[in-house]
Amino acid sequence: MSTDNNEEISEIIGQLTEEREKIATAFRSIAWMAFRYANGRRTTAPMTVREAVRRFQEVYPDWVPEADQTLRSDRLRHSAEAHGGGSLDDDWLDDLVTRTTDAPG
The pLDDT tens digits of the residues spanning 38-74 come to 999 989 999 999 999 999 999 999 998 988 888 877 7
pLDDT value at residue 89: 81
Which letter, b or e, does each residue of 65-101 get, where b requires 16 or more Cβ atoms within 10 Å of its Cβ?
beebeebeeeeeebeeeeeeeebeeebbbbebbeeee
CA distance 68 to 48: 19
| pTM value surpassing 0.85 | no
More confidently predicted of 20 and 73? 20
pLDDT value at residue 66: 86
pLDDT in tens, 67-98: 888 887 776 666 555 555 556 788 889 888 86
